[in-house]
Structure 1
Amino acid sequence: MSSQTKRRMLSSPPATSSSPVQPSHTVTSDPRHVTMETYWTEVQSIEEEKEGEEEEDEEDERKSMDEVELEEAWLTEAGLFSLVMGSAEDTDPLPAGALLSTLTRQQVATVKRRLDNYNETLRKRNRQPIRDVRDVFAQPDDNTADTNPSPQHTHNESPPTRYHMTTKTIRRNTHRVQPTRPALFFEDQLHEHPSPPPLTPSPIHTVSPPVTRSRRADWLQRDSPYSEGVVEHKQGGACWDCLCFHGDDNSDEPFAPVSPSQGLTCVDDLSSCDLIQLSFISHIELSTFLLALGIQTKRTRPPRRRTRDGGVFGIPLDSLLENDRKKFPGAKVPVVFQKLLTVLEQTGLQTEGILRVPGSAARLKHLRRELDRCGWGLDWSTVRPVEAAGLLKLFIRELPIPLLTHTHLSTYRCVLGISAVVHQVQALQLLSLLLPEAHRDVLGALLVFLRKVVSHQDQNRMSLWNVSMVMAPNLFAWRQRGNKRSVAKQREEMEEAVGGAHLIRLMIIHQDLLWTVPNFLLSQVRQMNQASNQKQSGLSRTRRLLRRKRDQNQVTELCEGVIRVHAPLHTKVSMAIQLDDQMKARDVTARFESENSPIQHLYEVGGNICERRLHPDCVLLDVYRINPHCDWLIKP
């Protein structure tokens, strides 16, 4: 698309717009015009950088996947690969039966629908289905009664009952209120938005209450999945969250995580084993949640891109981290990416138009060659802020696997079909939990930086919408689709631009919430661990009886409220502690602290969790009741 065409689009918006765009003479006269101009300026800058480069033909690679491929991919990502490959559950590290036993009725219905569709497609192709759905779900679920829980469950149940997930439908006195849906979602987001107050930066994946006004994200405490909460939408009604937050004009106010008594859990608090199981359940829940909202997801084959053997740009994140960890053990983001963020935070936050103003194309090409040659050893004192910003965006665009991944990129776009912002945030939260670790950490570091840029908007003239618009074509891989564009295609590209910016805006505002594990997901991970341990147990009947007797003795001891905390790195190797209703994790770690010791954390290890770092404010007696057979460990 030529630059003249884009300029015409700026002055002549799509016919679906509610009001025409007037020419802008100042930075703040018309936010809609300014943000769209920011987007197309960034697109034009990207095109200029690609001039002269060899373009790859990706048309064939971007065709939609067929039914068999779609269902195979979905079942595999849900941890149900044994149903596809026909392998025996006894040989699987995570048996499918353990996962299926944790699902609610709606989640089971989603898996059944996928498996039925997979088998039916195989039959049409005269291929024998590997597993019939009746063999997988042999036990009927008709006797499963719907319960009517409160959103904030009490925790007085015994552990086996606590983790048995039955269908839980939230029934409120909704009076069947139907939220008003906008005719075109993007139009509502283009009206003038007040500049948000400065946001306090927080460390990556660390949940801290914002200093600005916020809305309580109390759904984190619920035991019922998001898909259960929106069941009213199928009957044309409104769920509780829609009634609370729909039509809320304060869309720039973040949702503040509300901690359950056993403490908030972030993805970084869980072990890799628990994260694998969390991704399986999150994948099933996301599909069920979107289906309940009437959102259909699509997937295309990932484009084939050339990979490089060395350098910095165009290298997978995992490869970069593998090389960086040889010199910097424990690095969570590539060193070059972190260095670019550091340079920008030190010199660029107050630079007017940072991220928006492009640097010299020739200078960027030179710096790119230098970074590919010497990596983070570049003389950074010679790099101007606008050049560092250009390198940062170039690094993101050149990733062989997009930061949001080929697998989930189309689902991110589907989130735009959800009318209520609260459900969009919930869907983005589930998607964030599905990202690979390296992509999740880099995205988290990027969002923290973008929030810092917005907090300095009085100096750099970069509002939240400006930052979102300039990052949209970089994160959502905008591609030129030819020079001859119809009016309909131009409108589609306009909506795509605003939609991508809206998603980035939501991720910047609610970033502390994205990495938080809802209580219902953690409960399903615990149940899956418990079922998996029972499935894989190869003990003889005699040894199981001995263990049962030993566990009964342990429960008797634990019921008295006494735990033993182990601290192998301290002079006090272990300590017996009597729990009460007021004791928190910080009270225990304080007993092991010394002047020169690093920050210590308390972990629950074993039982129905592999390992979880406890939030300092969690009530230990509630954790003890949920996982009575765990060990307690103090370590950094």
Structure 2
Amino acid sequence: MISHVAMETYWREVRSIEEEEEGEEEEEEEEMKSMDEEEALLSTLTRQQAATVRKRLDNYTETLKTRNRQPIRDVRDIFPQVFVPVSPPQSLTAADDLSSCDLTRLGFISHIELSTFLLALGVQTKRTRPPRRRTRDGGVFGVSLNSLLENDRKTFPGVKVPVVFQKLLCILEETGLETEGILRVPGSAARLKSLRRELDRSCGAFDWSAVRQVDAAGLLKLFIRELPTPLLTHTHLSTYRVSSVVHQIQALQLLALLLPEANRDTLRALLVFLRQVVSHQDRNRMSLWNVSMVMAPNLFTCPRHGNKRSIARQREEMEEAVAGAHLVQLMVTHQDLLWTVRQTGRQTDRQTGRETETDRERERDRQGERETDKERERQTGRERERQTGRETLCEGVIRVHAPLHAKVSMAIQLDGQTRARDVIARFGCDTSCSGQHLYEVGGNICERRLHPDCVLLDVYRVNPHCDWMIKP
């Protein structure tokens, strides 16, 4: 068991969080006191006088809001492709390479697989009510990731991580990676509160040049803590009770697919940054364990570090602290595995896709029975034409479509050595710089972007009725 002395970084971070929260509570009490004094003053006036004063005060307040209002700027995959010495077969897929429809279906499958996995390990998965967190409609802090992204995409279409989060990471990467104690050394609480207000009020006109690295670190941790739904939602709780490191990693891989897309992308950006911090530990004195102990109280609900606690409660808090830091350590170290979909999960997804396709065929048959004879004949003709088109291709031959290229279609004979990059090269594209990818579309899956080294014959065998398309 790790001693309390070794966990001092963790408890220091917990105390810093508690001090910030106490300051916010005092501020709220002062606001309430001010309101009470206002009501006491109004009580000395007649009803008509009080109504007049309130109306003028409301008009004045609204005028100030209008003057200071700034346009809200958008504050901007289980398994990524794992690079191995041997070229990866079709069994490895990055979560980002799948369509949102396939990811949603995989989420349900992963939930079932995780429940079965934990049950086999004897881990009890009881439902607990998540802690209540304040949710705000505007600003930056306490706003859901989806709301932030919705605003950000008005200016930056397609952005996946909130802009303010990206900006804070950028400041830390540019100025703080070699600074001793990055993330660990706290800044001024008063300055942090001031910057928070300014960011919430006018993100679009915010002067980022005035933000120092210690400010950026404090704002980054504050942003994570105040998310209405924790970055890892509440799916991580059961992994505390998994004893084997290998099993914990497997559970985390499954949990990654259960995260909403915005949470998954933001978590990935954070883990990439934390790995950078650790890679500079000879300069910043922030080892993997140091980084994990600092971030754990911000990612997970931290225990209240009071004085009046029983020995049993102190031991429980220590175990929770160590477990939380250990999970962060595993995620930073094995982050590449978190975004890759295993073969078993995709096989189940394909089976579900086959069943869905069968259901669609049955529904089309039922609709056909209700159609007129003329319409049925048209449908039959189109289907016959489609089947005839397929039959013209020999076994192991695929037709690749490239609508954005001069040669829009090409029939290609597959063998055990044909890879996605080879097909793209046949259309005169270089995968390393063109940004063009080969996609598997339809059949028993919605859509999947294939890795350049993917063996196409493997894909063809598991999904012979798919279409093949080259696009960005």
Q: TM-score, normalised by structure 2?
A: 0.81
Distance across 2 between alignment mates of 1:503 and 1:488: 23
Which residue does 2:459 correspond to in 1?
623
Residue by residue over 1:115-136, the C-alpha shift from the partner in whole angstroms, topping out at 9 and shown as x without a partner, is xxxxxxxxxxxxxxxxxxxxxx
* Equivalent residues in 2 for 1:458-537, closer than 5 Å: 458-480=282-304, 484-537=308-361
- Indicate the larger mover: 586-595 or 569-578: 586-595
Distance across 2 between alignment mates of 1:279 and 1:427: 13
2:5 equivalent among 27, 33, 40: 33
Distance across 2 between alignment mates of 1:520 and 1:39: 38
Shift of 1:553: 5.0
Which residue does 1:604 correspond to in 2?
440
* Equivalent residues in 2 for 1:295-444, closer than 5 Å: 295-375=123-203, 377-406=205-234, 408=235, 412-444=236-268
* Equivalent residues in 2 for 1:99-110, closer than 5 Å: none
Structure whose residues are more often helix by fraction? 2
Distance across 1 between alignment mates of 2:356 and 2:418: 31
Which residue does 1:289 correspond to in 2?
117
Shift of 1:526: 0.6
Change (3 A) 1:547 1:517: farther
Change (3 A) 1:335 1:489: same
Alpha carbon RMSD of aligned pairs, Å?
A: 2.5
Shift of 1:370: 1.4
Change (3 A) 1:512 1:442: same
Shift of 1:444: 0.4
Shift of 1:594: 5.3
Which residue does 2:56 correspond to in 1?
none
* Equivalent residues in 2 for 1:186-205, closer than 5 Å: none
Which residue does 1:585 correspond to in 2?
420
Change (3 A) 1:292 1:547: farther
Distance across 2 between alignment mates of 1:597 and 1:458: 35
CA contact 2:106–2:345 (8 Å) conserved in 1: yes
Q: TM-score, normalised by structure 1?
A: 0.61
Distance across 2 between alignment mates of 1:47 and 1:458: 30
Q: 3-state DSSP class of the match of 2:296?
A: helix
Which residue does 1:560 correspond to in 2?
395
Q: 3-state DSSP class of the match of 1:278?
A: helix
Distance across 2 between alignment mates of 1:584 and 1:511: 27
Which residue does 1:222 correspond to in 2?
none
AA of the residue aligned to 1:623? V
Q: 3-state DSSP class of the match of 2:424?
A: helix
Q: 3-state DSSP class of the match of 1:576?
A: strand
Shift of 1:498: 0.4
Shift of 1:570: 1.9
Distance across 2 between alignment mates of 1:483 and 1:550: 79
CA contact 1:336–1:376 (8 Å) conserved in 2: no
Q: 3-state DSSP class of the match of 2:341?
A: coil
Distance across 1 between alignment mates of 2:93 and 2:259: 17
CA contact 1:321–1:331 (8 Å) conserved in 2: yes
Instruction: State the identity as a percent.
Output: 71
AA of the residue aligned to 2:134? R
Distance across 1 between alignment mates of 2:316 and 2:142: 29
Distance across 2 between alignment mates of 1:309 and 1:459: 41
AA of the residue aligned to 1:33? V
Shift of 1:579: 1.5
CA contact 1:278–1:521 (8 Å) conserved in 2: yes
CA contact 2:81–2:93 (8 Å) conserved in 1: no
1:539 equivalent among 345, 364, 369: 364
CA contact 1:555–1:628 (8 Å) conserved in 2: no
Change (3 A) 1:284 1:206: closer
AA of the residue aligned to 1:502? H
Distance across 2 between alignment mates of 1:284 and 1:485: 39
Shift of 1:548: 8.2
Q: 3-state DSSP class of the match of 1:262?
A: coil
AA of the residue aligned to 1:561? G
Which residue does 1:44 correspond to in 2?
15
Distance across 1 between alignment mates of 2:204 and 2:320: 35
Change (3 A) 1:472 1:597: closer
CA contact 2:123–2:242 (8 Å) conserved in 1: yes
Distance across 2 between alignment mates of 1:598 and 1:421: 40
Distance across 2 between alignment mates of 1:529 and 1:276: 12
CA contact 2:421–2:453 (8 Å) conserved in 1: yes
Residue by residue over 1:265-305, the C-alpha shift from the partner in whole angstroms, topping out at 9 and shown as x without a partner, is 11111111111110111000000000011111112123333
Distance across 2 between alignment mates of 1:257 and 1:298: 41
Change (3 A) 1:548 1:445: same
Distance across 2 between alignment mates of 1:461 and 1:628: 54
Shift of 1:382: 1.7
AA of the residue aligned to 1:572? K
Shift of 1:263: 4.8
Which residue does 2:280 correspond to in 1?
456
Residue by residue over 1:132-151, the C-alpha shift from the partner in whole angstroms, topping out at 9 and shown as x without a partner, is xxxxxxxxxxxxxxxxxxxx
Change (3 A) 1:334 1:482: same
Q: How many residues align?
A: 409
Residue by residue over 1:464-522, the C-alpha shift from the partner in whole angstroms, topping out at 9 and shown as x without a partner, is 00000000000012142765211111111111000000001001111000010000110
Residue by residue over 1:551-598, the C-alpha shift from the partner in whole angstroms, topping out at 9 and shown as x without a partner, is 765665555322111111222222222222211001112233558984
Shift of 1:207: 3.1
Which residue does 1:253 correspond to in 2?
none
Is 2:465 the partner of 1:634?
A: no
* Equivalent residues in 2 for 1:53-72, closer than 5 Å: 53-54=24-25
CA contact 1:263–1:615 (8 Å) conserved in 2: no
Change (3 A) 1:343 1:608: same
CA contact 2:14–2:305 (8 Å) conserved in 1: no
Q: 3-state DSSP class of the match of 2:158?
A: coil
Which residue does 2:66 correspond to in 1?
none
Unaligned stretches of 5+ residues in structure 2: 27-76, 369-375
Change (3 A) 1:257 1:597: closer
Distance across 1 between alignment mates of 2:276 and 2:262: 22
Unaligned stretches of 5+ residues in structure 1: 1-16, 22-31, 56-202, 210-255
CA contact 2:440–2:450 (8 Å) conserved in 1: yes
AA of the residue aligned to 1:350? E
Distance across 1 between alignment mates of 2:320 and 2:329: 14
AA of the residue aligned to 2:454? C
Q: 3-state DSSP class of the match of 2:227?
A: coil
